[in-house]
Structure 1
């Protein structure tokens, strides 16, 4: 392996798994305030009679209102759970995507077809949700909770949140909204991974770009835009259902129908701008970091295995 470059050696499944989780955490650190703003906009309208209900206007307006009424730290409510989610969630849905895609690709085929890529995206997306659902529930609860400056905390930390939800709602409470989350993340994963895969492959095939930062940036931006368009409706239902009090909705479908009746179809695209700002920027940071981390890990592997 002496003299080989990182680009000459395909990264192993383990390298992709670890790189994906780490890259997703890096992306979350940069974009978490936008994700919190998205959650607040998505749940707006379901508690109009609540004294604590706030009127948020746009991503910037939501962030400004939260900083004024709840303090700057409120923008990062649920960050610990969010990072736990990414390490378990992104590692599976992104890190194992290529391996699952190869598994579904018929032997002898030069490249995977679009249906095969979509199937791989749905598979890893569903697998990831099955493992990471409790972390997502806790993250959403933290982000949705309105705590005025100096006001009482809903949970005394992330561990307390897991315990409190399990105690008050049963263990099933930690898996609340699993079905809409599987649907949502299967769609998001297809929108992100398949779009990124196809755009990057096309740019390299026609030599429009080389396999470096500009190529990764363009592919990631396109992936974020497509994912936001197709996933927003399910994302809103998922957020509403996860954050609801016991008995507020019978199930995810009831939540969806209630939204349509009370707020109209446009409710499915509440928080679209912060969703796109968040997903677009998240995808750019994540995929660029993912590509670089894969190369660094392969380089470290080559250096480790090379004789002195």
Structure 2
């Protein structure tokens, strides 16, 4: 495996954290747009925002600019785990499997890249799921406390299961995003290299193309994931816990049935607008870190 296998893990984690800080307010607007308009959830029936810009402006005016960064610390903690495992596992697996092929990994092999990316994305997202739950709860505005108090509150009220709420669609979404995003980036980078070289302009164009594909593929699962994470299943001896959605498929079906198919693409614009800059910042940072060694 070589003595440099740890570097993709370190570089992936650091680049993910930098990208998260740069794009987090867009992620907050996406989360709030995905939560609103649920006809079967009395807490979020109202359509408070007409779009990303309206959500950004209203949140800033009504709750302050700081509200756009509510949940940033669990998000950073998530990237420190998710980003590190995801990118490190992907590039390490890709290198190991490539070395076993006849060409020694000299050429891109789409099936191999896709498999490695899906495994890396799903595994890393499942491990980091508790931090994602904390982030969503704080972004929606229901949890205003600090990271530790929010964690303790969810654990006491909902148990350990509350911290892994939505882990199914979260892992599926992450696997899907990774399976599209990483192989597309690598393929575009390789194709554009004769014209642009291994330079920032190449990294910029490749990351934009990768983010568009992953946004289209992942937004429906992202909507389902966000709604499952936001619902409570409170442990209460006075009566049965209220469950709005029974799982991924039920949430998917009820969302389409009650709000229409396009509800699965709520928050698509901020999702894409976030993925674009996020990927640009990430891959530019990652490629620059690679230049150190």
Q: Distance in 2 between matches of 1:164 and 1:235?
A: 24
Q: Distance in 1 between matches of 2:28 and 2:43?
A: 20
Q: Distance in 2 between matches of 1:55 and 1:117?
A: 41
Q: 1:155 to 1:62 in 2, by over 3 A?
A: closer
Q: TM-score, normalised by structure 2?
A: 0.91
2:27 to 27, 35, 42: 35
Q: What's the Cα RMSD here?
A: 1.8
Q: Distance in 1 between matches of 2:132 and 2:287?
A: 25
Structure 1 residue ranges without an equivalent (≥5): 1-9, 147-153, 299-308
1:196 to 180, 185, 188: 185
The offset of 1:50, in angstroms, is 3.8
> Partner residue of 2:224?
237
Give CA-to-partner distance per residue, 1:67-103, whole Å, 9 cap, x none.
1111111100100000000010011111221211133
Q: 1:165 to 1:49 in 2, by over 3 A?
A: closer
> Partner residue of 1:286?
282
SS in 2 for 1:12: coil
**How does 1:64-143 map onto structure 2 within 5 Å?**
64-105=57-98, 106-109=100-103, 110-143=106-139
1:219 to 206, 230, 253: 206
Moved more, 109-118 or 50-59: 50-59
The offset of 1:41, in angstroms, is 0.6
Q: Distance in 2 between matches of 1:102 and 1:256?
A: 37
SS in 2 for 1:95: helix
**Is the CA contact (8 Å cut-off) linking 2:26 and 2:273 kept in structure 1?**
yes
> Partner residue of 1:161?
150
1:19 to 11, 34, 53: 11
Q: TM-score, normalised by structure 1?
A: 0.86
**Is the CA contact (8 Å cut-off) linking 1:180 and 1:237 kept in structure 2?**
yes
